[in-house]
Chain A
Amino acid sequence: MQSLSNRKKVLEQKPMNFWERIYLPAIFKGLSITLKHFFKKIPTVKYPEEVRPYSKNFRGQHSLKRDEEGRERCTACGLCALSCPAEAITMTSAERAKGEEHLYREEKYASVYEINMLRCIFCGLCEEACPKEAIYLDGSHVTADYLRKDFIYGKDKLVEPRFDITKLAKD
Chain B
Amino acid sequence: METAFLLEKLILVVVVFTITLVIAMYSTLAERKIAGFMQDRHGPDRAGAFGILQPLCDGSKFFFKEEIIPAGAHKGLFIMGPVIAIITACISSAVIPWGQTLTFGDTTISLQVAEVNIGVLYIFGVIALGVYGIMLGGWASNNKFSLMGAIRAASQSISYEIGLGLSLIALLMVTGTLSIGEIVAQQSGFVNWNIWSQPLGFIIFVTCAFAECNRVPFDLPECETELVGGYHTEYSSMKLGLYMFSEYINMFVSSALMAALYFGGYNFPFMHDLGLSANWITIIGVLVFFAKIFAFIFFFMWIRWTLPRFRYDQLMRLGWKKLIPLAIANIVLTGVIILIKDTFF
Chain A residues in the interface with B (C-beta under 8 A): 24, 27, 30-31, 33-35, 37-40, 42-44, 46
Contact B41 A34 (CB under 8 A): no
- List B residues 278-313 near A (Cβ within 8 Å): 302-303, 305-307
Evaluate whether A42 and B302 lie within 8 angstroms (CB atoms) in the complex, with A27-B307, A30-B307, A37-B37 already known: no
Q: Is the CB of B302 within 8 A of A34?
A: yes
Tell me the B1-48 residues at the A interface (CB within 8 Å). 34, 37-42, 45
Q: Which 8 A-B pairs have the closest CB atoms?
A: A34-B306, A30-B306, A34-B38, A38-B37, A37-B38, A38-B38, A31-B306, A44-B42
- Tell me the smallest distance from the CB of B206 to a CB of chain A, in Å: 11
CB pair B41 A44 closer than 8 Å: yes
Which residues of the other chain, B, contact A27 by a CB distance below 8 angstroms?
A: 303, 306-307
A34 to B303, CA, bound (A): 9
Closest Cβ–Cβ distance, residue B314 to chain A (whole Å): 10
- Residues of B whose CB lies within 8 Å of any CB of A are 34, 37-42, 45, 203, 302-303, 305-307
Q: Are B41 and A42 in contact (CB under 8 A)?
A: yes
Tell whether, in the assembled complex, residue B42 and residue A38 are in contact, meaning their CB atoms are under 8 Å apart: no
Contacts of A39 in B (CB 8 A): 37
A31→B40 contact, CB < 8 A: no
Q: With contacts A30-B306, A38-B37, A44-B41 known, what are 14 further pairs, Cβ within 8 A?
A: A24-B203, A27-B306, A31-B303, A33-B306, A34-B306, A35-B38, A35-B302, A37-B39, A38-B34, A38-B38, A42-B41, A43-B40, A44-B40, A46-B45
CB distance from B306 to the nearest CB of A (A): 5
Q: Check B40–A42 contact: CB distance below 8 A.
A: yes
Q: Which residue of A lies closest to B322 (CB)?
A: A22
- Min distance, Cβ A131 to any Cβ of chain B, angstroms: 49
- A to B CB contacts below 8 Å, 26 in the list: A24-B203, A27-B303, A27-B307, A30-B306, A30-B307, A31-B302, A31-B306, A33-B306, A34-B38, A34-B305, A34-B306, A35-B302, A37-B39, A37-B40, A38-B34, A38-B37, A38-B38, A39-B37, A40-B40, A42-B37, A42-B40, A42-B41, A42-B42, A43-B40, A44-B40, A44-B42
Shortest A124–chain B CB gap in Å is 35
Which residues of A are found within 8 Å of B37, using beta-carbon distances? 37-39, 42
Looking at B37, B306, B307, which has the most chain A CB atoms within 10 Å of its CB? Answer: B306
Contacts of A35 in B (CB 8 A): 38, 302
CB neighbours of A30 from chain B (8 A): 306-307
The residues of B that contact A31 with a CB separation of less than 8 Å are 302-303, 306
In the assembled complex, the Cα of A30 lies from the Cα of B216 at a distance in Å of 14
Which residues in A have their C-beta under 8 angstroms from that of B302? 31, 34-35
Rounded to whole angstroms, the CA-CA distance of A27 and B203 in the bound complex is: 13
Q: Provide the residues of chain B in CB contact with A33, threshold 8 Å.
A: 306
CA distance A5 to B302 in the complex (A): 44
In the assembled complex, the Cα of A83 lies from the Cα of B39 at a distance in Å of 46
How many whole Å from B308's CB to the nearest CB in chain A?
A: 9
* A82 CB to nearest chain B CB (Å): 46
